[in-house]
Chains A and B, each alone.
Chain A
């Protein structure tokens, strides 16, 4: 037995300290503390090597680089690809700059996204939905036409809605690392770039179905499941079977007595724990094929966790509410608005405001 303890470093994120092994990214360190400080991630996917840095949703502010060099970093950094240093201080939800930049990222991701959530299969378990709910603004300032693509069948089991794609490249990495031959990729560049199989090659690899699981939005959808169900009407159950190709550990989604789809198990961050093969995914849709383990624990804050196995309804995360309250205070001035109007009218603030108004209108 090797008895070498990994070198631990100390990182402070939003005032909370955590000890992590050297070489951990800021995002992973934040996830060790908990969801209240973990930055959102749209492209980073821990099981896939090389992902991250693309969506810029996980931008954080580093106020002190390390113990040795406590200078702050000049720009916001992508926490998923930046390694934590000993003594590093990071601001995530506590930095208005980060919140503002993240609002921008939501807006950018949504300007070419069709917002067809009512008819989208991913709705309810969509990361973009969660991300914009927690970090975005209510409206958009984008008035132009959105880019559009034709729907495309890639393989007999997967349909690609390029309109919804946020180009996180996760499916490309999946095909690279899970399957033995990648036949799809990114064509063109800029906002007209698209995921495609060159001259529409079909993807018929045994593990191609995992691309549906890793897709954070509804761009890659399961053709056997399309338009059959809404996520929140189905009950997920953990199950396993003896599979010669994969681990066989899956989640079954029941609607009534029927297994409506099979997916890989996902953790709290929406990341697949073990990739499953297409046989498990598409061909074993009877309860008798599986050994049921019990209800799936839904750990994500999302519609997905509503109406499942407890009475607890969807809650907006408390840190978001806290931030909203704080922010509201900043927008408003300090006038006490619990007083009645006549009292307010007597106050100095009110008079000053009226004087300002008059000055403005007299111009």
Chain B
């Protein structure tokens, strides 16, 4: 589809786009000028509401609605925090966006802060990405020199200070309340909700936490209008989305797609993933980062009703968790038939075991337990009741934890067993063969795609 609209990555290939001059030449910061000079903060919020853009961090909560929930008591500062602590396995879009287009994020931050009435905003960047932090800081200096940041921006009387904060190096700090704790200088433990950050967030003041990609879309929305943005995409999934494609595909990378693109086209067309590597075929797909349920190829390409799936929030979650998944943060991992699902599930569970914050008991103990059981099955020491045990433990973690990390740890395991139970059983019944490196169970009734 050559006519796919590029909103975020329009100028990605322009040399020097990370500098202020080139970005400005390509029409950068016009959104700031328009918003600050012509629109009131409420009008900006209204435009974002009209656009129907949904949070790109994973949960897909409408951004305009989140903004309108922000409490506005008198005399209390409000904060905008950009969540750039992207650590979900399989997702690397924010990293790419910040590295290549730092000014797009800064422009979005200025407009969003103006809309929310925040005079100090934070970008909480994953601590491992030190070089990205330097890029952002350089870009902020450039924007300040050009008069887009600091006191009295463009003579409108609006002040904004932008602070880049390196993260503490934990996956859990990507959860919004844990992020706020970490930003305050405390241990990154998620808070109990309610109160939600919109009422009591950073330093107990009303706060909005948004993903990098969500904030980056704001300048386009302000420039072109929310209604124009809502025309892109399908149904309630409006606009474009960055997908970080990885795995056994010919062309891994970050792609901007219009929501509603058929998955078949995304996977197989040369413009995007370019199909599965030669001589192999698709076995399973993790559609939105490691936290979402894994789907076997036939259920990924077509829903249980036989309709072709689209890359959109609604279409991917069709069929619930029984036969569907989620778009999540757009971490698209394709696996061909050489992938051992048990090993892959174990690998994911190892990650969640390592990253659980240890605050609430189901997640703290359950993630470790599931990892140990999966390790046993993968290494040929499992037995049949371990499989049911995993399902039961996953069920007892899911929904009973403070933050969604418990769900994120339980879903991939529950779905892997739901769809690939025979593979787990093969590991139990053939411990010798299954525990060899690279051993993969061949499905007898494999669906070809």
Interface residues of A (CB under 8 A from B): 52-57, 59, 75-76, 78, 81, 83, 100-101, 104-105, 107-109, 111-112, 141-142, 144, 147, 166-167, 169, 185-186, 188-193
User: Residue-by-residue, is B367-404 near A (CB-CB < 8 Å gives 1, otherwise 0)?
Assistant: 11100110010000000000001000100110111100
A149 CB to nearest B CB, Å:
14
Interface of A is mostly: loop
Contact B358 A111 (CB under 8 A): no
Which residues of chain B are near A188, meaning CB under 8 Å?
358
Contact status A105-B359, CB under 8 Å:
no
CA distance A249 to B396 in the complex (A): 42
Chain B residues, Cβ within 8 Å of A192: 358
**Interface hub of A76, A108, A169 (most chain B Cβ within 10 A):** A108
Does B160 count as interface, using CB distance less than 8 angstroms? no
Taking A188-B358, A189-B170 as contacts, is the C-beta distance between A81 and B369 under 8 angstroms? Answer: no
B188 to nearest A CB, angstroms? 8
CA distance A191 to B396 in the complex (A): 17
Q: Which of A56, A78, A142 meets B369, CB within 8 Å? A: A142
Q: Tell me if B402 and A191 are in contact (CB < 8 A).
A: no
Asked if B369 and A54 sit within 8 Å, CB to CB, the answer is: no
Q: What would be 14 A-B contacts, judged by CB atoms less than 8 Å apart? A: A54-B359, A54-B402, A55-B361, A76-B400, A81-B192, A105-B362, A108-B361, A169-B359, A189-B172, A190-B358, A190-B368, A191-B358, A191-B364, A193-B358
A167 & B359 in contact (Cβ 8 Å cutoff): yes
Known: A56-B400, A56-B401, A76-B400. A185 touches B187 (CB 8 A): yes
Known: A53-B402, A56-B361. A190 touches B170 (CB 8 A): no
Partner of A141, one of B170, B355, B361, B389: B389
Can you name the residue of chain A whose Cβ is closest to the Cβ of B172?
A189
**Bound Cα distance from A101 to B372, whole angstroms:** 21
Inter-chain contacts of B359 with A (CB < 8 A): 54, 167, 169
Q: How many residues of B contact A (CB 8 A)?
A: 32
- State A147–B192 Cα separation when bound (angstroms): 27
In the complex, given contacts A54-B361, A167-B364, A191-B356, what are 9 additional A-B residue pairs having Cβ atoms less than 8 angstroms apart?
Answer: A54-B402, A56-B361, A75-B400, A104-B393, A109-B365, A167-B361, A186-B358, A189-B356, A192-B358
User: Smallest distance from the beta carbon of A119 to chain B beta carbons, Å?
Assistant: 23
B410 shortest CB reach to chain A, Å: 12
Query: Does B360 interact with chain A (Cβ within 8 Å)?
Result: yes
Q: Please indicate the chain A residues that have their CB under 8 angstroms from the CB of B397 in the complex.
A: 104
4 tightest A-B contacts by CB? A104-B396, A193-B358, A108-B365, A53-B192
CB closest residue in chain B, given A52: B192
Q: Using Cβ atoms and an 8 Å threshold, which residues of chain A touch B172?
A: 189
B50 CB-CB contact with A under 8 Å: no
A55, A104, A144, A185: which has the most chain B beta carbons within 10 Å?
Answer: A104
Asked if A101 and B353 make an inter-chain contact with CB atoms under 8 angstroms apart, the answer reads no
What is the CA–CA distance of A55 and B357 in the complex, to the nearest angstrom? Answer: 13
B331 interfacial by beta-carbon distance below 8 Å: no
Minimum distance in angstroms from A73 CB to a CB of chain B: 11
Q: How far is B361's CA from A188's CA once the two chains are assembled, in angstroms? A: 15
Q: Which residues of B contact A108 (CB under 8 A)?
A: 361-362, 364-366, 369, 396
**What distance in Å separates the Cβ of A139 from its nearest Cβ neighbour in chain B?**
13
Neighbouring B residues of A53 by C-beta, 8 Å: 192, 360, 402
A57 — which chain B residues lie within 8 A by C-beta?
Answer: 361
For B356, the chain A residues whose CB sits under 8 A away are 189-191
Flag whether B354 is at the interface (Cβ < 8 A): yes
Q: How far is the CA of A105 from the CA of B396 in the complex (A)?
A: 8
Partner of B357, one of A52, A56, A75, A189: A189
Question: Is B361 in contact with A105, judged by CB distance below 8 angstroms?
Answer: yes
Rounded to whole Å, the gap between the CB of A131 and the closest CB of chain B is: 11
B367 A190 Cβ-Cβ under 8 A = yes
Complex Cα spacing A189 to B194, Å: 24
For residue A185, which residues in chain B have a CB less than 8 angstroms away from its CB? 187
Q: Which interface residue of B354, B356, B365 has the most chain A CB atoms within 10 A?
A: B365
On whether the beta carbons of B368 and A101 are closer than 8 Å, the reply is: no
State how many angstroms separate the Cβ of B428 from the closest Cβ of chain A: 14
Q: Which single residue of chain B is at the shortest CB-CB distance from A194?
A: B358
- Shortest Cβ distance from A333 into chain B, in angstroms? 23
Cα of A188 to Cα of B354 in the assembled complex, Å: 10
Among the listed A78, A101, A167, which residue makes an inter-chain contact with B396, where contact means beta carbons less than 8 Å apart? A101
Chain B: CB-nearest residue to A187 = B187
Residue from the list B192, B357, B393, B399 in contact with A190, Cβ < 8 A: B357
* A56/B360 in contact, CB under 8 A: yes
**Which of chain B's residues has its CB closest to A82's CB?**
B194
A34–B362 Cα distance when bound, in Å, is 27
Chain A contacts for B401, CB-based, 8 A: 56
Residue of B nearest to A112 (CB): B365
Which residues from chain B contact A167 at a C-beta distance below 8 Å?
A: 358-359, 361, 364
Residue of B nearest to A186 (CB): B187
* Residues of chain A contacted by B402 (CB below 8 angstroms): 53-54, 78
Report the separation of the CA atoms of residues A107 and B353 in the bound assembly, to the nearest whole angstrom: 17
Question: Quick one: closest A residue to B352, CB to CB?
Answer: A190
Distance between Cα atoms of A234 and B393 in the complex (Å): 40
Q: CB-defined interface of B127-166 with A at 8 Å, one 1/0 digit per residue? A: 0000000000000000000000000000000000000000
C-alpha spacing A135/B192, complex, angstroms: 24
* CB-nearest residue of chain B to A109: B361
Most chain B beta-carbon neighbours within 10 Å: one of A52, A186, A190? A190
A352 to B279, CA, bound (A): 55
Partner of A56, one of B170, B358, B362, B367: B362
| Shortest Cβ distance from residue B4 to the other chain A in the assembled complex, whole angstroms | 37
Of the candidates B355, B358, B376, B399, the one having the most CB atoms from chain A within 10 angstroms of its own CB is: B358
Assuming the contacts A53-B402, A142-B369, A190-B368, asked whether A104 and B360 have C-beta atoms less than 8 A apart, the reply is no
> CA–CA, A4 to B172, complex, Å?
45
Nearest CB in chain B to that of A53: its residue: B192
A59 and B400 in contact, given A52-B192, A112-B365 (Cβ under 8 angstroms): yes
Min C-beta distance of A198 to chain B, whole Å: 12
Instruction: Name the contact of A76 in the complex, choosing from B364, B365, B389, B399 (C-beta under 8 A).
Output: B399
Q: Does A190 contact B354, Cβ atoms closer than 8 Å?
A: yes
Task: For B194, list chain A residues within 8 Å (CB).
Answer: 83
Q: Which residues of B contact A100 (CB under 8 A)?
A: 396
Which residues of the other chain, B, contact A144 by a CB distance below 8 angstroms?
Answer: 369, 372-373, 376
A104 partner, pick from B367, B373, B400, beta carbons under 8 A: B400
Instruction: Name B168-225 residues within 8 Å CB distance of A.
Output: 170, 172, 187, 192, 194
Residue of B nearest to A193 (CB): B358
By a CB distance below 8 angstroms, the chain B residues around A55 are 360-361
Cα of A57 to Cα of B396 in the assembled complex, Å = 12
